[in-house]
C-alpha cells in the first residue's frame, strides 16, 4: 500500500491543469470587466453589485456549470440590513468641567449595531487592554471586573510575542481581530466598544479604517430580544491621546501596560457620550452558486468548494476626484480565477469523483457576511464538504516563483499541497505578515468556523526576473497607497501569469481532493477539527 494517497492520485490521473487550458488572458479580461467603472465598485446593495452578480452567473452558465442557488437559480439570497452612520454623528469624552468633541471621519468612525435610526447614550469608559480572555494561554484582560453598561476602550491585536507557544508567536490569532473585540464586549454586557487605532496594532493605516467604516455597512438583522452594543467603532491615535490625557494617561503608556500578564482594567473616570443618527435599509444581496456534478455515484453528493468574494466598497468618498472604489486586485482578481476554474472544471471529459461548487460570495468587505451566511445555510452540508479553496486579492506582477497557503499546514491536505507545489515548480512561502492575521480576514475563515478544512491560495511573494524582495516591496506599496482606495484600478500593463499559475495549482489541488477516498480534516488538536 502506498504511503500517500496523494501520490497514488497524481499517478492515476494524468490530466494536468494545462490540458484544460487555464488562461491568463481570460483571467485578465474578467478582472478588467469586473473592476471597470461601469460596475461602480461592486457595492453591496448597489447597482454595480447587481451587475457583477449577473455577469458572474452568466459566465458560470457559459462555462457549462449548473445553477446551485435558491429554487433552481444561480443565487442564494443573503438577507442583510444596511447600516449607515450619518455625518452628523457625534462622540464626546468628558470629565468634570472639560470635554473633547471628536469629528466624524477625521477622529472617529463607527456604527450603531442596535439598528435604530436614532441612538444616543452616555456611559463610563474603562480601559481593558486588548480586551482578550484566552484560557488556553492563561491570559485574561478583565480579571473578573464587571464591565457591564460601560464603554470598553482597547487596542486591537494581542500581546506581542515571538514564542510560538504563546498566542501563536508572531502570527495573529482570532483573539487579535477587531471582530473578536466587539464580540467579547457584547458577551460581557458592555454598552459600547472603542478601539484606539495605531498602524502597528491594526497592520493598516487610518485611511483603510475610515474608508471601510465611514460608509454603509452590512449587518445581519437584529431579531427582537437580541442584545447588541450601542456603539462599536474606532478613534485615531491622536484622538486616543486626547481622550487618555483627560485621565492622565498616554497611548504608549497603556499599550505597554496591556502587554503585561498582570494587567487589570483601568477605570478612566471619563464619560463617553454618543449620538448616532443612522440610515437603515434592507439590502438586496446574494451569493452566486454554481455546481459541476462529480462522476462517482457514491461521492458526487460531496463537494469541493472554490470561493471568492465579488463585492468591494462601491461608490464612496472622493479621493483625488475619484469616488469609485473599483477593487481590481481586491477582489476582481479572485472572481476572475473562480470563473476560469469553473470553465476548466466543466471542460474535463472525465469529471472528478466529487462535485465542485463554485461560490462568489457577497459582503466580505463588511465582515465576511456572505460566506458566514452560506456556512449557516449551506447548499451542501459541512459534513459532505471536502474543502474550501479561496481566492482573495492576487497580484498580477509577472510569473510567480512561490505561493502562500496560510492555514493549509493545519489540515491533512498539507502533504498533498506540498507535493503539487513541487510538481508545478512553486515554492510554498510563509505568510510574510503573520501579525496581520490574514487567515481571519478572508472568507475561508467562515468555512473553517464550521469545521470545513479551508484556506486561501494566496498571492506570490517572489516573481521571476524581479529582484529579491520585489513582491514584499510591491505589496507594501499596494497596501499603503491602493488597498481600499479608488486607485485599486485595472492597469493595462499588468501581467496575469501569476494568477494563471494560482488557478492551475488550485485546479490540481481541488481535483485531487475530489478524487480521494476520505474527506480531508484538520490535524488532531486544531480548534477547527471536525
CB atoms within 10 A of CB 161: 15
Successive 10-residue mean pLDDT values, the chain, 530 residues? 38 50 97 98 96 98 98 97 96 95 97 92 97 95 98 95 84 89 97 96 91 89 88 98 97 97 97 97 95 98 98 93 97 98 97 98 94 96 98 97 94 98 95 78 94 95 92 88 95 98 98 97 85
Give the integer Cα–Cα distance in Å for 253 and 236: 16
Backbone dihedral angles phi then psi of residue 271, each to the nearest 5 degrees: -95, 130
To which H or E segment does residue 139 belong? strand 139-140
CB atoms within 10 A of CB 13: 14
Give, in words, the CATH class of 16-78+285-515.
alpha beta
pTM summary value: 0.86
| 427 closest CA partner among 437, 413, 436, 417 | 417
Instruction: Report the first-to-last Cα separation within the chain, whole angstroms.
Output: 27
Could you tell me if 278 and 83 are in contact, meaning their C-beta atoms sit under 8 angstroms apart? yes
Give the integer Cα–Cα distance in Å for 444 and 410: 13
The residue extents of the domains of the chain are 16-78+285-515, 82-278
Could you tell me if 391 and 307 are in contact, meaning their C-beta atoms sit under 8 angstroms apart? yes
The C-alpha cell 477605570 sits at 267
Q: Is the dihedral of CA 18, 24, 25, 27 positive or negative?
A: positive
Alpha-carbon 424 to chain mean position? 27
CATH 3.50.30.30 fits 82-278, yes or no: yes
User: Which pairing describes strands 151-154 and 139-140: parallel, antiparallel, or unpaired?
Assistant: unpaired
The C-alpha cell 515548480 sits at 425
CA distances from 241 to 104, 124, 273, 320 (A): 17, 17, 17, 29
Give the integer Cα–Cα distance in Å for 470 and 482: 17
| 129 closest CA partner among 268, 255, 270 | 255
Question: Angle, nearest 10°, between helix axes 5-12 and 414-423?
Answer: 40
pLDDT the model gives residue 4:
38
- Bridge-partner residues for 76, per DSSP? 287
pLDDT the model gives residue 12:
38
Amino acid at each position: 500500500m502506498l504511503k500517500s494517497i496523494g501520490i497514488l492520485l497524481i499517478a492515476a490521473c494524468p490530466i494536468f491543469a494545462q490540458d484544460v487550458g487555464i488562461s491568463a488572458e481570460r483571467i485578465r479580461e474578467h478582472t478588467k470587466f469586473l473592476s471597470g467603472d461601469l460596475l461602480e465598485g461592486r457595492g453591496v446593495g448597489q447597482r454595480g453589485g447587481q451587475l457583477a452578480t449577473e455577469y458572474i452567473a452568466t459566465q458560470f452558465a457559459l462555462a457549462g456549470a449548473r445553477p446551485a442557488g435558491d429554487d433552481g437559480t444561480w443565487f442564494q439570497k443573503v438577507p442583510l440590513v444596511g447600516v449607515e452612520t450619518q455625518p452628523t454623528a457625534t462622540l464626546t469624552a468628558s470629565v468634570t468641567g472639560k470635554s473633547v468633541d471628536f469629528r466624524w471621519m477625521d477622529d472617529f468612525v463607527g456604527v450603531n449595531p442596535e439598528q435604530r435610526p436614532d441612538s444616543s447614550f452616555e456611559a463610563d469608559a474603562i480601559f481593558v487592554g486588548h480586551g482578550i480572555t484566552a484560557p488556553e494561554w492563561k491570559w485574561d484582560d478583565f480579571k473578573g471586573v464587571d464591565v457591564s453598561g460601560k464603554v470598553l476602550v482597547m487596542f486591537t491585536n494581542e500581546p506581542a510575542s515571538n514564542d510560538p507557544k504563546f498566542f501563536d508567536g508572531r502570527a495573529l490569532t482570532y483573539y487579535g481581530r477587531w471582530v473578536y473585540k466587539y464580540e467579547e464586549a457584547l458577551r460581557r454586557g458592555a454598552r459600547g466598544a472603542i478601539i484606539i487605532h495605531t498602524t502597528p496594532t491594526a497592520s493598516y493605516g487610518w485611511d483603510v479604517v475610515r474608508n471601510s467604516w465611514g460608509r454603509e455597512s452590512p449587518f445581519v438583522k437584529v431579531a427582537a430580544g437580541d442584545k447588541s452594543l450601542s456603539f462599536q467603532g474606532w478613534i485615531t491615535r491622536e484622538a486616543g491621546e486626547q481622550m487618555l490625557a483627560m485621565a492622565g494617561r498616554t497611548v504608549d503608556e497603556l499599550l505597554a501596560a496591556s502587554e503585561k500578564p498582570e494587567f487589570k482594567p483601568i477605570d478612566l473616570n471619563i464619560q463617553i457620550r454618543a449620538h448616532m443618527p443612522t440610515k437603515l435599509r434592507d439590502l438586496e444581496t446574494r451569493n452566486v452558486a454554481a455546481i459541476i456534478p462529480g462522476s462517482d455515484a457514491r461521492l458526487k453528493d460531496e463537494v469541493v468548494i472554490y470561493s471568492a468574494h465579488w463585492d468591494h466598497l462601491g461608490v464612496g468618498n472622493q479621493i483625488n476626484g475619484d469616488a469609485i472604489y473599483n477593487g481590481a486586485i481586491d477582489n476582481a482578481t479572485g472572481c476572475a480565477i473562480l470563473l476560469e476554474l469553473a470553465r476548466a472544471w466543466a471542460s474535463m471529459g472525465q469529471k472528478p469523483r466529487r462535485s465542485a461548487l463554485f461560490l462568489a460570495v457577497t459582503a466580505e468587505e463588511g465582515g465576511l457576511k456572505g460566506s458566514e451566511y452560506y456556512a449557516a445555510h449551506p447548499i451542501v452540508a459541512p459534513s459532505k464538504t471536502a474543502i474550501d479553496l479561496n481566492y482573495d486579492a492576487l497580484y498580477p506582477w509577472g510569473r510567480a516563483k512561490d505561493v502562500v497557503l496560510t492555514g493549509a499546514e493545519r489540515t491533512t491536505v498539507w502533504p498533498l499541497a506540498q507535493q503539487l507545489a513541487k510538481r508545478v515548480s512553486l515554492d510554498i512561502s510563509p505568510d510574510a505578515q503573520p501579525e496581520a492575521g490574514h487567515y481571519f480576514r478572508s472568507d475561508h475563515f467562515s468555512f473553517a468556523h464550521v469545521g470545513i478544512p479551508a484556506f486561501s491560495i494566496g498571492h506570490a511573494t517572489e516573481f521571476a526576473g524581479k529582484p529579491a524582495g520585489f513582491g514584499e516591496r510591491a505589496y507594501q506599496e499596494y497596501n499603503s497607497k491602493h488597498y481600499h482606495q479608488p486607485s485599486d484600478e485595472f492597469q493595462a500593463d499588468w501581467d496575469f501569469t501569476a494568477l494563471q499559475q494560482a488557478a492551475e495549482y488550485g485546479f490540481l489541488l481541488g481535483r485531487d481532493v475530489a478524487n480521494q477516498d476520505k474527506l480531508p480534516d484538520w490535524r488532531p488538536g486544531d480548534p477547527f477539527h471536525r
